């Protein structure tokens, strides 16, 4: 269990180090092209994924903090139960670290710092961060594990 919590903590630290670096390097909405399809840009997201509910008037901050705290409790319980299943525990630790990284932003700043921006001509993916990446990879691994892991009857 300790190693999975350590992985989640590593994600949180990496997330916040990169957010601190980008926040101290760029001005708000400043973009720095890195590759023809990738830029670093400092933006703030008061909503959820793809800025969902970003303009909802402020209540969404506390809603997403509450959802993050509830998710944390559930994930820690799942980690406790499945710590001996490396693929599942790894995925849960990634989601946990990412979720807490963004919850910390919401509590301290009132928004999430995003800065990784992929684009091609008029097509663009909304900016995201290390925490979002960890959540996404963890979620994909959870789906993978549910499809290719042990049958449910064999799980304890």
Residues taking part in catalysis: 114, 132
End-to-end alpha carbon distance in the chain: 16
Angle at 112 between CA 1 and CA 123, to 5 degrees: 110
Tell me which DSSP letter residue 58 carries: S
Angle at 131 between CA 137 and CA 67, to 5 degrees: 95
What is the rounded CA–CA span in Å between residue 43 and residue 62? 20
Q: How many CB atoms lie within 10 A of CB 109?
A: 14
């Amino acid at each position: 269990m300790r190693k999975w919590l350590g992985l989640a903590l590593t994600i949180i630290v990496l997330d916040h180090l990169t957010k601190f670096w980008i926040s101290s390097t760029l001005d708000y909405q400043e973009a720095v092209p890195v590759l023809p399809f990738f830029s670093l840009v400092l933006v703030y997201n008061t909503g959820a994924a793809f800025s969902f509910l970003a303009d909802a008037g402020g209540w969404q901050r506390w809603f997403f903090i509450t959802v993050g705290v509830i998710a944390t409790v559930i994930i820690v319980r799942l980690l406790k139960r499945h710590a001996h299943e490396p693929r599942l525990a790894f995925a849960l630790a990634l989601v946990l670290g990412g979720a807490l990284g963004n919850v910390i932003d919401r509590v301290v700043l009132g928004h999430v710092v995003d800065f990784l921006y992929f684009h091609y001509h008029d097509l663009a993916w909304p900016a995201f961060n290390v925490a979002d990446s960890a959540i996404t990879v963890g979620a994909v691994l959870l789906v993978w594990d549910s499809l290719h892991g042990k049958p449910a009857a064999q799980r304890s």
